[in-house]
Structures are given as structure tokens and as C-alpha cells.
Chain A
Amino acid sequence: MFETTHKKLFIASVILLGSSLNGNLQAAENTLSSIKIDSTVILDGVAEPLWQKASALQVKVDKLPYQANNYSGIKETQVSLKSLYDNEHIYFLVQYSDPTKSLQRFPWQKQSDGQWKQLKDKDQTGHSNNYYEDKFAFFWDIKAPGFAKKGCAVACHLVNDDGKINGIDQKGKTAGRKYTRRAGETLDMWHWKSVRMNPLGIIDDQFVDHVKDPAVNKNWGRHGDSKTGGGYVNNTNKDKSGPAFMNRTQDGLNDFTIVPSQKTPFVDTFKSGDLIPGIMSEVFTGSRGDIWAKGNWENGVWTIEIKRKLVTTGDKANSQDVQFTDLSKIYPFAISVFDNSQINHVYHDGSLALSFK
């Protein structure tokens, strides 16, 4: 009947109203659960079936610290995170879409006149957004009040209206600096670099402390963990007119750093337009190289597998590394994606939490 149609219409509207309320009631769940396993993960940038044991935490990263005048990278992506652990190690699986695989980090290019030129670009802060590399980063709370609440923002300091940070002129030098408030407050920074470190299978393990003066440390609060060797240096000859070394097998497509096994003195048999890596990398030894990782880009998606000891040892491990000593605790962290950019990155507000199951 007509009457019942009216009633149905009305009831349908009430349900609609109710469900919009319901949407509001759903609390955001920001916890990544690490699942216990008794086999080991193979780090190859391919997610093996073992990962199906863990459920993914989806994190949208859609904020940028500044608008670079030549940035054409992603402004938003969804990161899927998974975690597993065994008696000794913790593993992470990171997956996110990035339409471009960017590896040409400041490469040398042979010009038509036979000269070599290093390809570079600079935005208004003096940083590259086009000839760089894809990167991914974690921040872990070691001991920084406010991190659990605000995430990366506790350590993020951008230039003010006078072009200064902490009263020090930074005009044209940077968009921002990282430091914590007080001595003793540190964050663990895992900086995965697709060109400089991925071929070697490690992450650049760094940390952030309270230094807010470039006279004390060029990078302010940002430091590499203690190392006994390894690292990366520019591949430049004495008079800076070209590369000093090249790869033994040069495919010109994938290897944009020169690793020791490939390193051979530069001999110019190249043609115009050919590229040679602008950087050379060696595995870090010591605390700076104690996180293993392998990333693989396929069909517009980066897949990165990461492995670290639950508890690290060594020089200053407790102030430079997050220590997963108590598996009943919650460990706050935050993540960010760098799309071919030196310092610009897409991030999320607040922090995420890791718990062990």
C-alpha cells in the first residue's frame, strides 16, 4: 500500500542517518601487530607466503613539509605494513605504490661534445627532486616525550618567516632540520635508500638527538649510528670533470651506485647520452649497518623486506637504536615515503604503534 511505502521511505532515511553516525563512531586503529614465527624470512623484496600470517596495517601518507618548486613526485600513497618476529629478529614488509622507479641519483652523463656532466637539480631550498632516489623511512621512539602523541612532528623544525631555525640563518640551505628537545632524548631513524644502500642489502641506520647547532654537527640533530667502516662517497675524479670509477658490468639502467665487487677505474669508451653512477657505496660495518633490507620495484609497487635483531648490541646501542626488549610493550613509530626527492617526503600525522602477539 501507499502508506507502507511512506513508512519504508522514512525508515530508510532514519537508517541512513544512523549509519552516518556509526561511521563517526569507528575509532582509527593504528596498531601493527608483529606475529611470532619459527622459520626465517628471505630478504629479496618478494613477499613469500609466510607473510600471510601477519595482517597488514594500512597507512595513508598524504602530507608534505614544504612545496618544492620542482617537485613532481607523489603527494599521496597508501603504505601497507606487516611485521613478523622470531626469537632473535624482527621483520617488516613494506609495500606502497609509486608509479616511478627512480634510481638516477646525480648520475654522470656523456655530452655530445664528449665532456661529462653530472645531472643535478635544485629546488628553492637547494635540494633535488628529480635526479635522486626513492627512499623510505621509519622513526622509532627511543626516548622522546611527545613522540607517541605527535609522531615525527616532535623533531621537525621548519624555517620561520625570517628564514631561521633556532635563530640560525637557513635561507636557501634547507626547508627544515631535525632535532629533539633535550639532551638524552633520541629517536631511531631507519633510512632505506634504493640506490645507495639497497644493492648492498642494508638500511642506513641513523638517529636524531637534541643538537640544534650546525657548528656542533653539520646535520643538526641527525646523525649516522656508530660505524667501524663503509659508507658512500661521490664518484668524482680529481679535477671534478667526470667520474673516477665505473661498474665492471655497466647496464646503465639499474646500477646507479658502484659497489666494491663492481668497481673498476673509469675508461671512457662511452657514447653521448650514456650514464655512469655518481656515487659509490660500501656496506656499513658497526651499528649503522645492523639493519638488513631488500627492496624490489615491480609494476608500480615498491616491496621492501626488512630484518633487524630485536635487541642490538654495540657501541651506544641503547641511545641510537630502539630496543624491542619487552614484548608486552607498545612501540610508537612513524613512517614516510620519499619519491625521488632528497628531503621532501610524504608523511602522516601522529604516531603508529607496534605490538607483539
Chain B
Amino acid sequence: MRLNGLSFHSKLGLSGFLMTIMLGLLSAATLIGLLYSSSNSGFNIPEIDKVKAKYSESLLVGAMKSSMYQHVTVDEDIGVVEKWVKDGAPDNDYFNDEVMYIIEADCQKCHSRTSTMTGAIPSMPLNNYDDLLTYTEKGYSWVHMAKSAHIHLLGIAVVMVLVTGIFSLSSFPSMPKTVLICTAWSMLWLDISAWWMAKFSSVFAYVIAGSGALEITALVLMCLLSLYDLWWKKDKKLPE
């Protein structure tokens, strides 16, 4: 079976699927760009510091540098909380006078069990020492990580088997097919394992960014090439 030998309606159906996947990838890339840049609109290139923040720092400090940065009043506040977490997050005067002061002023509006403010998140209160302690573990907590990892792996695997499957039926030479299919799968594994490794060294933030970018590129390329094959590359009469 070859892609360009398919009936018009099969081609139409597959094209719809491939374009939907590309749109999905585009929104994923937009989301990543928004989460890891200092802007909150438009299409952005992620900043490596923000990626580092998310994967090699505590959720609390990491969030202040990335997704919650817009709520931080002055940048020095992040340093105050960071220092406290580095020191082992003790329940001391520094916590009460300095850290809690910032949390009270900038975060509790939304992070409170009773808040009804627009955008509030009552399920994640930051009301006291114990509440905060939940988010001071370095990197993603193991539970959080395992949750995200399995959803990512299982979800992406389904998309990937379909895209690589369709692409494998294209009439392109064997070599580029092998390269793209291997790249897509190996980058997925590398990406997710780097999430965990980043807990131990922030160098892996670069691996996360690099492998993620390659993974998306490989998928988009496979979609585009398959589309090209579906509609344009109809000249050769079933090679091999």
C-alpha cells in the first residue's frame, strides 16, 4: 500500500488527521513558548532559564520564575524565596517575616481555600508553612513527575504510532524515513528522561529543550512530507 495510491476520500481523511496533528503541535509549541518566556501573548521562543526553573528547582521557586512570574511584584522576591528553599525551608523568622510576607502579598489572593477571585485556585492553597512545604521539593515532585510522564508517554505514543505509520507508507527513500522515525521516538524518550535527570543537574534543561524541539520538528516534517506525498508525488508508478 502506498499513500499516493489511495482513493480520494482516504487521502482527504488522512490529510484532515495530519493537519489536525500539526495544529495540535502548533498549540503545544505556543503553550511551551508562553510558559517559558516572559511574555503572555504571541508566539515566543522559550528561555532556557525558565526551563531550568521548572525542572531543576522546587515547584515554588520554579513557578515564580515561569508560569507565576506575572504575579511577582519585583524580581528580588524570587531570590528571597529561593534562599529559604536552599536553606532547607525551615519554619523560622526568615520564613515568617520575609517569605510569608511575599506569599501573602502576591499569591494568597488566588492560592487560598476560600478565594472566589477570578483565576483563583482554591485547590492549591499557600496559606501557611505546611501548605508551602508541599512545593519546596527540588524539581518536579516524584508524584507529579510520574503523573505528567505517563500521560505524556501514553498520549504521545498514540499520536506517534499513527504519524510514523502514515509516513512509513509514503514513497520517500528508506533512509530519510528511518532517520525521521527513529528521531521522533528517541527524542520522546530522551525528553521525558531528561525531566527526571534535571533534578540532579540543570544541564539537562538543555536536553529537555533540545530534544523537545527535535521531537516536534520530526513530527511536523513527517506530517508535511506525508501530505506532500498524498497529493503531489503521484508520478512514480508504485516503485519496488
Interface residues of A (CB under 8 A from B): 2, 6-7, 10, 13, 17, 20-21, 24-28, 62-67, 145-146, 149-150, 153-154, 156-162, 166, 176, 181, 349-350
List, in ascending order, chain B residues with CB within 8 A of A160's CB: 104, 108, 112, 114, 127
B116 at the interface (CB under 8 A from A): yes
Name 4 extra pairs, CB < 8 A, besides A64-B118, A146-B74, A160-B104: A145-B73, A149-B70, A150-B70, A181-B73
Given A10-B227, A10-B231, are A150 and B71 also a contact pair (CB < 8 Å)? yes
Q: Which residues of chain B from 91 to 106 have a CB within 8 Å of any chain A CB?
A: 104-106
Contacts A17-B22, A21-B26, A24-B42; A162 near B127 (Cβ below 8 A): yes
B23 contacts A20, CB within 8 Å?
A: yes
Given known contacts A17-B19, A20-B26, is B115 in contact with A158 (CB within 8 Å)?
yes
Whether B15 pairs with A26 at a CB distance below 8 angstroms is no
B113 sits at the interface (CB 8 A): yes
Contacts of A146 in B (CB 8 A): 72-74
Q: Contacts A6-B231, A7-B231, A145-B73 given: A17-B117 contact, CB under 8 Å?
A: no
**What is the predominant secondary structure among interface residues of chain B facing chain A?**
loop
Which B residues are CB-close (under 8 A) to A176?
109
> CB of B125 within 8 A of chain A?
yes
- B7 on the interface (CB 8 Å rule)? no
Pick from B22, B73, B118, B119: contact of A154, CB below 8 A: B73
B94 shortest CB reach to chain A, Å: 17
Contact between A13 and B109, CB atoms less than 8 A apart: no
Known contacts A13-B15, A161-B112; is-contact A28 B104 (Cβ 8 Å): no
B positions within 8 Å CB-CB of A? 8, 11, 15, 19, 22-23, 26, 30, 41-43, 70-74, 104-106, 108-109, 112-119, 125, 127, 227, 231-232
**In the bound complex, how far is the Cα of B115 from the Cα of A158, in angstroms?**
8
The answer to whether A153 and B71 touch across the interface, beta carbons within 8 angstroms, is: yes
Residues of B within 8 A of A150 (CB): 70-71, 73
Q: List 8 A-B contacts (CB under 8 A).
A: A2-B8, A20-B23, A21-B26, A63-B117, A65-B118, A153-B106, A160-B112, A161-B125
4 nearest interchain CB pairs? A146-B73, A63-B118, A67-B116, A161-B127
B42 to chain A: which residues have CB within 8 Å? Answer: 24-27
Other-chain contact of B109, A145, A149, A156 (Cβ < 8 Å): A156
Contacts of B15 in A (CB 8 A): 10, 13
- Chain A residues with CB under 8 Å of B74's CB are 145-146
Q: From residue B109, how far is it (CB to closest CB) to chain A in Å?
A: 5
Q: How far is the CB of A256 from chain B (nearest CB, A)?
A: 29
Contact A66 B116 (CB under 8 A): yes
Instruction: Tell me, rounded to whole Å, the shortest Cβ–Cβ distance linking B102 to chain A.
Output: 10
Q: Name the A residues within 8 Å of B117 (CB-CB).
A: 63-66, 158
Min C-beta distance of A56 to chain B, whole Å: 20
- Closest Cβ of chain B to A81, distance in Å, is 20
- Which residues in B have their C-beta under 8 angstroms from that of A153? 71, 106, 109
Residues in chain B near residue A28, CB distance under 8 A: 41
For A66, what are the chain B residues with a Cβ–Cβ distance below 8 Å?
Answer: 115-117
Question: Nearest Cβ distance between residue A37 and chain B, in whole angstroms?
Answer: 33
Inter-chain CA distance A159–B117, complex, in Å, is: 11
Contacts of B116 in A (CB 8 A): 66-67
Which residue of B is nearest A62, CB measured? Answer: B118
By the criterion CB–CB under 8 Å, are A157 and B231 in contact?
A: no
Closest Cβ–Cβ distance, residue A300 to chain B (whole Å): 24
Question: Once bound together, how far apart are the Cα atoms of A7 and B232, in whole Å?
Answer: 8
Query: Given the complex of chains A and B, what is the CA–CA distance between A62 and B22 in angstroms?
Result: 32
**Which chain B positions have C-beta within 8 A of A65?**
109, 117-118
| A residues less than 8 Å from B19 (CB atoms) | 13, 17
Residues of A within 8 A of B231 (CB): 6-7, 10
